[in-house]
Structure 1
Amino acid sequence: MFALLTAYLRETDGRRKKRVAKTIHKNLSRLAAFILRTAFVAPKFEPSHFEAKFSNFAKKIMQDKEIPNEEFAEFLLDCDRDYYNILDDSKFKEGIYETQMTGEKRIKRFLFGVNSDQQGNSQIFNDSEFTVEHILPKSDKHWGNWKEFKGEDPKEWVNRIGNLTLLGRTDNKPGIKFNGSFEKKKEIYAESALAITRQLAKHDDWTPESIKKRQRYLAKRAVEVWRFDQ
């Protein structure tokens, strides 16, 4: 990123500087897609895997007169092929659909991104503004009340991204009976400031099939939100 911005600052021709700015913006969008897609799908994101490659490419940017465009896209694709191949939309979608996402901040960032796209706003992500909400409750002491999961192992469903949403700071605070049933939860969800959570109030019930269906929806949306343009 520093190399790209340095290349912009050293450009003195005004008209050319505008073209350079557009190219840099496109490259930064590609870089963000690469980083976030990898972080969402990889069991453990290891930036050190790419350190040497990025260092060498940054040196090339600093030395060249032209800002790389398609070359930068190919560079990221090459990095991706060595590890997760998530810049391929079908692979990324499959990865999101199959994942049981871990790490509260990662979950928040993913759901916030989808929600922002739904609401059409560009609010800056602030980790402290949200809490992760498990629709099927996280604690096993509540599972006995959720008859829709009878015969299922709730552990297989509770941490799937399709079972997770966000509650904002201004959302109503759940009462002690909140986890007793989906009907109780819907009352809170319907009043949420977040579109991704309000949607849940449209469901009649919450079942394993509901989680799978929502997981497919989130995977499809994720491809659009973190699009990688070649």
Structure 2
Amino acid sequence: MSTIDFDIKGVGAILSSGKLTIPSYQRSYSWGEQQVKEFYEDIYSAQTIPGAEYFLGGINLQEKANGILEVIDGQQRLTTAVLFFAAVRDELRTRAGTEPDDRAKVEHNASAEKISKDFLSDVDRWASVARTPKLSVGNTDKDFFESAFLEILTGDEPELPIPTKPSHAKLQGAYDTIGSRLRELDIETIRCLTDFLDDRVKVFLTKFKESTNPFEVFETLNNRGITLSLADRIKNHLLGKSQTRMNSVSADWGNVVAILESESFRRDDEILDTFLRHFWMSQTGAVVRSDALFEDFKKRVTSPEKAVSTAKAMKVSAKHYRDLLRPSKTAWQAFGHSVCGDIEFLNILGAKQIRPVILAMLSNFKVAEVARSLSNLTSTAVRIVVSGRAGSGSIEKWYASIAHRISEKKITNSNGLAQALLEKLPTDVQFEQSFASYPLTKMSIARRLLAAIEEYESQPAGTLVVTPNIDEVNVEHVLPKKPTTDSRWLTDFPDTEAYVHRLGNMVLLQAKVNRRIANLDFAHKRQRLIACDYQTTKSVGQCLNWTPAELEKRQLEMAKSAIKIWKVG
């Protein structure tokens, strides 16, 4: 490797060089509100300590022949620092506009312009409207970032920018988070905080010469303990192997990130890493954790052609994965009316291990095969969850093996998938035994199981569809979860905990009725149950008393229906 220079510099000194650029292969801005809050609060707390310095971590740059410094690592922190300075500039201007003292007004405006010139953008000496950014970001964010925060506007009549991508919204959110805190400070504190970020917030600066392969640098950084996410390591390996196809691979990777970030309800690294693990399992059958996954990825993706094909497959699977996480009827309508409901049920069951099979199936099966296949997968998941085997490592390996066989074209349709699922599926006898004593506390699962049994047993079968709207239909515990001490319940059920969470003790009931009868004794409750439209609820109301024997009998009957409802074949 070429010469590497090390230094410790203040954030302001790095930005003021005006030669920083974030290359297109880097991830777009991804910090969420919590990360920005921590950035601000750490700096704010540190500046209150006399003589203190705050180390922000490492920044790694690659020096090009033209003097440009490409940011290899640290782009999120540098971008947030720029947003901080932009928020200070705008807060100073706002205060200048409301400042009654003319001298203070001039000082605020002059300080704002100085901050802009030092940390945000250079002004051409011969053309005051021409600005060059101190930090250039990647193509996805470039136009929005420069116009929204650096005041680099284009066109004869430039308009205020509108966020159009998830990363744009995050940039705007970070700026707003910092700005809201600055508005709470007096002007002297803002000055102290700005000077502290400029000079006393330090970074460990590593500068590589141009001849250094940036993707080898990432590998070196990771090996030296500077943690990179699995997503970053996968991305950099793909780009490093893509050679002349880098633009194609970079675009496909950007689509993967954008697709999943648009549905992110967790940290981006978490959702990306989970997707990559499930994607890789669907392709290879390898059940490995993050570090081992990357090593396996490197061994298999060794050429530009493989990098291109892998990135394209990732893009397709990312769309499917998004629709698995947030199913909608629109996304799944081409596959049949039952598919969206099956996917919702799989999510309620927490059947994440089955996702590699679904990814492989969606990429390889004909559309006509998907509905039956998903029905079989849902039945499989129900049987495994009820049988208490959902957390088993062997189940995850089994699913991964099936996914790999689909990707290898060894399983090509729903019949083949059904045969593969039967290899380890709990038998009817095993499933019936487990279901007959199944307890659960997650009411979303109970609602689905009870609704399916109700729809199966309604006459003629399937004529009644139970609404999934929890505001309309609730799960009622016949034996209350908290019976009053003077009620007959404690006589009939001396060990209430052994029965209250049994599925046989639960019925579907209209929400408004459920709220009124929750803790009534059975003699009063049964009249409301008899009046219910649901046959399975009505049948409980027809019992003269509700006892452990009646509960056991009912759940055994439910178990016999369950083996027919959740069958595979």
Q: 2:529 aligns with which of 174, 177, 189?
A: 189
Mind listing any 5+ residue stretches in structure 1 that lack a counterpart?
10-19, 81-85
- Deviation above 6 Å: which 4+ runs of structure 1? none
Query: Following TM superposition, by how much is the alpha carbon of 1:33 offset from its aligned partner in structure 2, in angstroms?
Result: 0.8
Matching of residues 35-114 of structure 1 within 5 Å: 35-42=381-388, 45-46=390-391, 49-64=394-409, 67-80=412-425, 86=426, 88-114=427-453
Query: Following TM superposition, by how much is the alpha carbon of 1:40 offset from its aligned partner in structure 2, in angstroms?
Result: 2.8
Cα distance in structure 1, aligned partners of 2:465 and 2:393: 30
* Preserved CA contact (<8 Å) 2:365 2:413: no
Residue identity in the other structure for 1:158? V
Q: Structure 1 vs Structure 2: percent identity of aligned residues? A: 25
Cα distance in structure 2, aligned partners of 1:155 and 1:2: 40
Q: 1:163 aligns with which of 483, 487, 505?
A: 505
Query: Following TM superposition, by how much is the alpha carbon of 1:38 offset from its aligned partner in structure 2, in angstroms?
Result: 1.6
Residue identity in the other structure for 1:7? N
Cα distance in structure 2, aligned partners of 1:66 and 1:104: 36
Cα distance in structure 1, aligned partners of 2:447 and 2:378: 16
Residue identity in the other structure for 1:30? N
After superposition, give the CA deviation of every residue in 1:110-135 in whole Å (9 maximum; x if it has no partner).
Answer: 11111121231455644554322111
Cα distance in structure 1, aligned partners of 2:406 and 2:391: 23
After superposition, give the CA deviation of every residue in 1:134-158 in whole Å (9 maximum; x if it has no partner).
Answer: 11111042563237616x3222222
CA pair 48-125 structure 1, distance change in 2 beyond 3 A: farther
Matching of residues 1-230 of structure 1 within 5 Å: 1-9=358-366, 21=368, 23-42=369-388, 45-46=390-391, 49-64=394-409, 67-80=412-425, 86=426, 88-119=427-458, 120=462, 121-122=464-465, 125-127=468-470, 129-142=472-485, 144-146=487-489, 149=492, 152-169=494-511, 171=513, 173-175=515-517, 179-229=519-569
Query: Following TM superposition, by how much is the alpha carbon of 1:184 offset from its aligned partner in structure 2, in angstroms?
Result: 0.9
Cα distance in structure 1, aligned partners of 2:568 and 2:411: 22
Q: Under a length normalisation based on structure 1, what TM-score does the superposition of the two structures give?
A: 0.75
Cα distance in structure 1, aligned partners of 2:488 and 2:450: 27
Cα distance in structure 2, aligned partners of 1:141 and 1:123: 31
Residue identity in the other structure for 1:76? L
Q: Under a length normalisation based on structure 2, what TM-score does the superposition of the two structures give?
A: 0.33
Cα distance in structure 1, aligned partners of 2:392 and 2:465: 26
Query: Following TM superposition, by how much is the alpha carbon of 1:75 offset from its aligned partner in structure 2, in angstroms?
Result: 2.3
Query: Following TM superposition, by how much is the alpha carbon of 1:168 offset from its aligned partner in structure 2, in angstroms?
Result: 2.7
* Preserved CA contact (<8 Å) 1:40 1:110: no
CA pair 123-165 structure 1, distance change in 2 beyond 3 A: closer
- Quick check: 67-76 or 191-200, which moved more? 67-76
Larger RCO (CA under 8 A, 6+ residues apart): 1
Cα RMSD of the aligned pairs, angstroms, is 2.9
Higher strand content, 1 or 2: 2
Cα distance in structure 2, aligned partners of 1:160 and 1:53: 29
